Amino acid sequence: RLLKRSVFFSVQDEAVDKSNFKNCNHILLLYLFVYSQVPLLVEIYAIEGNIFRLKINEVSPLKSRYEVPDVLIKEPTTQRLSIAQKEAGILVLTCASEDRKLHITANPFQIELESKGETVLSVNTNGLLYFEHLQPPPQNRCITRSNGWKLKLDTFRQENQEDLGLWQEEFGSFLDIKANGPSSIGLDFSLHGCEHVYGIPEHAETLLLKNTSDDDAYRLFNLDVYGHKIHDKMGIYGSVPFLLAHKPNRTSGIFWLNSSETLVEINTKAVMEHVPSRSPPDITKQRVVPQTDVRWMSESGIIDVFLLMGPNPFDIFKQYAQLTGTQALPPLFSLGYHQCRWNYEDEQDVKTVDAGFDEHDIPYDVIWLDIEHTEGKRYFTWDKKKFQHPKRMQELLTRKKRKLVVIIDPHIKVDPMYTLYSQAKKKGYFVKNRTGQDFEGICWPGSSSYLDFTNPDVREWYADQFAFKSYKGSTDILFVWNDMNEPSVFKAAELTMQRDAVHHGNWEHREVHNLYGFYQQMATAEGLIKRSGGQKRPFVLTRSFFAGSQKYGAVWTGDNVAEWSYLKISIPMLLTISIAGISFCGADVGGFIGDPEPELLVRWYQAGAYQPFFRGHANIESKRREPWLFGDENTRIIREAIRERYTLLPYLYSLFYRAHTTAEPVMRPLWVEFPKEQETFGVEDEYMLGNALLVHPVIEQEATTVNVLLPGSDEVRIPVFQRGGGVVPLKTTVGRSTEWMTDISYELRVALDSKDFAVGELYLDDGHSFQYLHKKQFLHRKFTFHKNVFSSSCADEIGQYHTKCVVERVLILGVQKQPTSVTVSLHDGKDKEVVFTYDAKSSMLTLEKLLLNVGADWEIHIK
């Protein structure tokens, strides 16, 4: 049912008449007429920040088609579009800056986006635009829905057997009825000069997206897939319909704003390009260049796509964040190590595991409880036998300066005696089935109904459930894990909710499916903020996610397996999620399913210590695997890895501040930092942590060496692969958790580049509140090494925060000769000598016992 033939448009003269169209100086309105004579309205916007938006919808649909709400942080600010050329079948538009143009042709309908004379991207190049319009039910049939329609399927089967699949589909014993027939949409795009494309998480696949011409398309459809397959393009837990394309001189992006099931086809090929020649002037040459065609297809909704023009990777990240928001700044404790399994059995088990970390001198911040901690899988409750005194258990953790995370899933046990169920039932807060009754499915508690988080009233009510008076036994150190929120429905087609279930506003589930987990995490985060009177940052981990989920917390890669291949694939999976805007991501250390051999577990801890979200987790059927259960030597190595994580927290926290304020991914592919070096474009076994550290985990069994690509032609590098030209702030020692480390002094590790220059930064606040935002209580310091002077200066004068912390030690790597003296100058004008040592073999200068206030300006002079 694809409309592959040409599509015609007529440019309406009124489109530039301010009396007829709102914001018409910022928008171009076109009408497309397909062969079925169903007119489509095309809206083209130029958006500030080098973005274009294209919307296509029916002019007069039978009823409104779904347009995704709440993902965009605001309505984008548009720029003026001017008509530079208008003639039969051709329209050329320019933006305010006039270095960007849109070439629109009528027959066939195509749009080309040009920047500074270069065609960057084109729309409908292959003529694959299609738009299935909504239709009334056929004769002799009506549909049973909450609005009173009824369905006579028997007659319809007899008279219209051939077309039956257009109006209903069977999945085993499950029936999906399409009230207004099929409503899918699709459009193709060509990325000129590009053969490297990335993004569209979540798949257990390579970093570089593969051609799909001889294989399945990439599927974006959130599903509970236990032990998901590797190198499979089927949808798993999350969906972000955002794709990036990169070539040495440009990065561009496509953000397809649609929350229904979506397929993405990719075809990279070589095409001939005409190159003008100067002599003789009327002859053109041809050259072969790459081109990637990307085709998007969604089950329903409208075409609403943002075209991000870059031109560099960090411009793309900012443009996407301008639309969907930046990563929420996490509380500092959540960057520490998390210990989880399904399930810690009771309060004594929690106490024993907590004590084990102290006994073995391993820092950790959070212990987690899975579904077994509840009373019969009733969320917001405690098992009365196993967890009789939850507040007392949390008080123990509070004294240790640690936190608790509990699981809260979206399904609610059908039980009239369960307060949460009875309240939601009375208020009509559950998703409905097609007959207007509460949808019921099977999940952990047995028969369950599902809260309709698409309803803002439900989200507000749900947020109130986290209040201490409502959530009995909870305290302010309790945080939340949203699982099973794809949503997962046992004994259902693909283990998820029926597509013709009905949500708030009479929208079918097919329209909102990929948004369901996004909305639960939103409501949960809001609940934790409200619980604190708006004072404290939440921590919420979600399994299901969508574009914009970064605003509400963290994600992880779901039910992985304790095998080497899953450790290996976790790196490209996390890189893909990171460049799609969600910096706070991780994979279960050790693998959720099965029992890792000690070597694998050790290697996974070493890898996880350098990834944004760091959690050890195990299935209920897995053997216990606390870090000290694998022998003294393995315990020592794991301890070392976790302690290294805690040493690195100042750098990691500063990276999250950058992600929060400037949308820079915490974990990023090499090509992001080295966009012109083509050998980096496909690298997925190593990555940059910020701009200063290159990480190459060991991901092969029995490996004793690894081959590491060190991009950058003349930059000095040293173990642990610190990039020349960077400054990394560290803690000099570690504590039992992050809160024990507040006043521990800093070490600054300076790696000089080939020009004896380095720069870095440190961000610091109280680690848990919103005071950094509301009252500007933070410190943002800049460190610079230039011409043998290492200085500390204020990076943001707005921030003010008092700290006792000092810089105790500075290591400068790449110093070519031993200094004769080192002095420090303070703001009071007084100089003092600095104790130093110099290692000629490693070219390392170590400055000790500095005791420099981290919030003050100072200079260290090396002579």
Active centre residues (catalytic): 483, 486, 559
Residues 92, 84: Cα–Cα separation, whole Å: 5
Angle, vertex CA 834, rays to CA 832 and CA 838, nearest 5: 155
User: Is omega for the bond preceding 824 within 30 degrees of 0, making it cis?
Assistant: no
User: Do 512 and 503 contact (CB within 8 A), yes or no?
Assistant: yes
Number of Cβ within a 10 Å radius of residue 248: 13
Residues 403, 740: Cα–Cα separation, whole Å: 13
Number of Cβ within a 10 Å radius of residue 420: 20
Pairing mode, if any, of strands 822-826 and 858-862? antiparallel
Pairing mode, if any, of strands 502-503 and 440-443? unpaired
Pairing mode, if any, of strands 758-764 and 726-731? parallel
- Residue 535, classed as helix, strand or coil, is coil
User: What are the φ and ψ backbone dihedral angles of 282, each rounded to 5 degrees?
Assistant: -100, 10
Angle, vertex CA 140, rays to CA 138 and CA 141, nearest 5: 65
Torsion angle (degrees, nearest 10) of CA 613, 618, 620, 624: -130
Residues 589, 610: Cα–Cα separation, whole Å: 12
Q: Checking phi first, is residue 843 left (phi over 0); if not, alpha (psi -120 to 50) or beta?
A: left
Residues 651, 112: Cα–Cα separation, whole Å: 43
Residue 742 burial (10 A CB sphere; 0-12, 13-18, 19+):
middle
Q: Checking phi first, is residue 493 left (phi over 0); if not, alpha (psi -120 to 50) or beta?
A: beta
- Residue 662, classed as helix, strand or coil, is helix
DSSP 34-48: -TT--EEEEEEEEET
Angstrom CA distances, 313 to 248, 318, 724, stand at 11, 9, 21
How is residue 706 annotated by DSSP? -
- Residue 795, classed as helix, strand or coil, is coil
Torsion angle (degrees, nearest 10) of CA 329, 331, 335, 339: -140
Angstrom CA distances, 571 to 123, 207, 221, 556, stand at 32, 8, 22, 12
Residues 202, 250: Cα–Cα separation, whole Å: 24
Which residues have CB under 8 Å from 197's CB, separation 6+?
A: 191, 208, 209, 243, 244, 245, 246, 266, 268, 292, 294
Structure tokens at 231: 């190198």
Residues 409, 405: Cα–Cα separation, whole Å: 13
User: What are the φ and ψ backbone dihedral angles of 177, each rounded to 5 degrees?
Assistant: -100, 130
Q: Checking phi first, is residue 645 left (phi over 0); if not, alpha (psi -120 to 50) or beta?
A: alpha
User: Do 128 and 112 contact (CB within 8 A), yes or no?
Assistant: no
Structure tokens at 494: 């693909």
- Residue 648, classed as helix, strand or coil, is coil
